[in-house]
Structure 1
Amino acid sequence: MDELELLKRDWQTSNEKFQSYSDKDIYKMSHKKSSSIVKTLFYISIAELVFWILVNTLPAILSDKMRAQMEEMMHSSIYLTLTIMGYVIILLFVYLLWKSYTSISVTDNAKKLMESILKTRKIIKYYVLYNLTIAFISIPVSFYLTLQDHPEMAEKIAEFSNMQLVVLVGIITATTGIFLLLIWLFYKLIYGILIKRLNKNYAELRKIEDYDE
């Protein structure tokens, strides 16, 4: 019995050593973490922009054949439109994330911070949906442009039997599905982890708001 009492006393003494955090302390920590997360998202978006610029320019710089092919593709209004739209969307995404970062950095109100977190989550969600949509469109468009540039291939496909056409459509569909899955996994890994952390911060702030009310 004496040992039990000693254990109880020891537990109480240890428990008193734990630091209790006030709502203000929790807000400060959530604010700092949220600002850091959005800043990281902003840097990732910059890296992605640089990556796509390199993907689209390096082959043309390093290979005369690729440069000639890209020049031919630039004559296609569909390809040109998708390329310009892609860069515009990425730049818009970078700008919106920068706005979210500055908004979170300067806010001194839990409610405004929560609104900024929600806005950031929406920006990421719409950006991922946009990229998945573009990926879904790009493979059929690329196939169409390839047929336009290679009439001999189009003639061969025109001679396909119904079974061969079904197989071809199946291959294109499977390729599109795999491509979409890889993109989704990429964004799930990169952005998903950071969004989970933002959600955690949002939940902590939500508790503060509910408690204050």
Structure 2
Amino acid sequence: MPNNRVKTTKALQSKKGKAVLSKLHPHSRRAKQITRIALRDDKLAANKKEKKKLGNALTSRLIWFAEAYKHERVAHDTTPLDLPTMHTLIARFLARNTAHIAAESTKRDAHFSNRPKSNLLQKLEALCRAEAQEYAVNGFVLPDLRTLENLMLLSQWKDDHRCDRSFLGRVKLVRLFKDEPTRVVEEQRGATDSFRLEDSSLSCLDHNNNGDDDSDEDVQLIPVDE
């Protein structure tokens, strides 16, 4: 049977006309159809917002690790990192909000001990719990910092392509696990297999230290040295 279900308000208006829709009985079939369309629109908008939020969080995370690599290596040292060092960086990343949480808690205790937690404090604590669970259970997602090719692609994504998400698919991402330090699960294959370095150096990692190059204004950059 053909699917004649109307899914948008525009399609419904073109089918019945605005005048007819404005005179509907509140319990009529058409009124229920309008309600269903409105609920669908709200759900799509919420999903889009959540997807954008998750995308921004991943972008901020990858920028942090790109900057952390530069801090880990001295100038002109482009040696890739090993797994133990990557786990060390993850621990630093997970602890980046510790001082902020402590400051918010102190501010709260300075007034009344039974004072409700601020929205900021609740969000920071929830973020810490979610990231800790990701590291312990599902594996922590981060860029693979073990190869020169992927380091070059990560640098190009951040600096040359201004964190363009269409270029992000070329960067290899992996999952590392807290209780299994040697376990590596490929999250995103990237383009490292077919990539050929035009320049054997990674000098671009030592310049253009502009973490705010992201074109998406909602992305919040996280200082590395916290």
TMscore range, shorter length: under 0.3
State the TM-score, normalizing by the size of structure 1: 0.28
Q: Which has the larger radius of gyration?
A: 1
State the TM-score, normalizing by the size of structure 2: 0.26
In terms of fraction of residues, the more helix-rich structure is: 1
Q: Which has the higher contact order (CA 8 A, sep 6+)?
A: 1
In terms of fraction of residues, the more strand-rich structure is: 2
